[in-house]
Structure 1
Amino acid sequence: MAGLFESTGGGSAAIVLDELEASILRSLEVQMLELIGPGPGGESDDPLAALFAEGPSEAPEDPALARLFPDAYGEPGAVADDETKASAAEFRRYTELDLRARKRDDALSVVRALDGLGGAGGEVKVAAADCPRWLCALNDLRLTLGTRLEVTEEDEEGLYQLPDSDQRKPLVMAYLWLGGMQESLIEAMTG
């Protein structure tokens, strides 16, 4: 997989993906949409009700979702006291639904752009205004894969040396590819 972004000027970017790369990226984003889901309480067509909707107060049990929607208070991995738990629950209750909606919108932005290829490979042009959405969507995928693979800073170098027989190899390849895409997108946006 070699699809990387290049600057097209003005903060916009383009990436050429072959059919397999486009299919893999689209599949990962669709899986991300399924993982994020509509959130507790579902979607409301009433904008006023949506404005005042309250989200969950407990962190997700799924480690990947917990990574995407971390507690805003307390140290990761540390046992929180009652005050910290209450602050984290209150913050989550009023922010998680919006965060889920933004993550869904980011993933949908990528899916729609890839759908524009008509199931084939080709060049995807990303306007400057959409580049941050792509960057966030790629980051969410990478965080999720990293969590599923239980990647730590210490292991990341070892990922390059996994034998082909390792069952994790396809996910590791996607994880590393997404990292390269993120890096190239940042360079394209700023270059």
Structure 2
Amino acid sequence: MPGHFEPIPGGGAAVALDDVEISIIRSLAVQLLELIGPGPGGDAPEDPLAELFAEGPSEPPADPVLRRLFPDAYVDPEAPGTAAEAEERRAHSSEFRRYTENDLRAGKRENALVVIRSLDALAPVDDGGAVLKLAPAESRCWLKALNDLRLAIGARLEITDEDDTDLLYRLPDEDPRKPMVLAYLWLGGLQETLVTTLMS
């Protein structure tokens, strides 16, 4: 079980994590929460009903990580068509973003919080670290959060296709991106074993 998820009775998943791994995942999840932000109403909305119907932003985020996490729905610079058709796609994308981004952000915040809470609830074992056991619903939240963390790191590393990933494997140890690359690859392995576990 060390380093990869395995199925447990009841449809959940378990993985053994050492103290450093727990610290890394927790830190990344906290950073993701900070990046996504508290939501349109902040921490304590005065009118929960108004918050429910609040409109989100209509423009893509400036931060490349947020653009990767909340991409445009209809804009494709490679799509054929006239300038008018491209403008129409941008308008549709803007409208879609306005009505969906707040919910998407809330979902990503909740997934990251599930990760943080489940790590905080771990009981350490004698030789350090702990065994994380997730119920099926928690496993799905973890899967989504791991995906978001990899998207965020991938955006910071400017990974756009598989060739970029291949180049990262060959980075010298002194490259300042190396720790981020190792985290990206490690999270990918965790994500892959969690997918396999949930499909078994």
TM over 0.5: yes
Give 2:6's aligned amino acid: E
Q: CA RMSD in A?
A: 1.9
Q: Deviations over 1:62-95 (max 9, x none)?
A: 0100000011112157787221111111111111
Matching residue within 82, 91, 95 for 2:87:
82
Match of 2:114 in 1: 109
Measure the CA separation in 1 of the matches of 2:24 and 2:96.
Answer: 35
Matching residue within 100, 120, 129 for 1:95:
100
Q: CA deviation at 1:45?
A: 4.9
Q: Which runs of 5 or more structure 2 residues have no equivalent in the other structure?
A: none
Question: Higher Cα Rg: structure 1 or 2?
Answer: 2
TM-score, normalised via structure 2 length? 0.88
Measure the CA separation in 2 of the matches of 1:76 and 1:139.
Answer: 24
Measure the CA separation in 2 of the matches of 1:128 and 1:40.
Answer: 30
Is 1:61 the counterpart of 2:69 in the alignment?
no
Q: CA deviation at 1:46?
A: 2.9
The aligned length equals 190
Measure the CA separation in 1 of the matches of 2:178 and 2:20.
Answer: 17
Contact residue 123 and residue 130 of structure 2 kept, 8 A: no
Is 1:121 the counterpart of 2:121 in the alignment?
no
Percent identical: 59
Matching residue within 183, 186, 191 for 1:177:
186
* Cα pair distance change 1:105/1:76, threshold 3 Å: farther
Helix, strand or coil: the match of 2:49? helix
TM-score, normalised via structure 1 length? 0.92
Measure the CA separation in 2 of the matches of 1:138 and 1:146.
Answer: 12
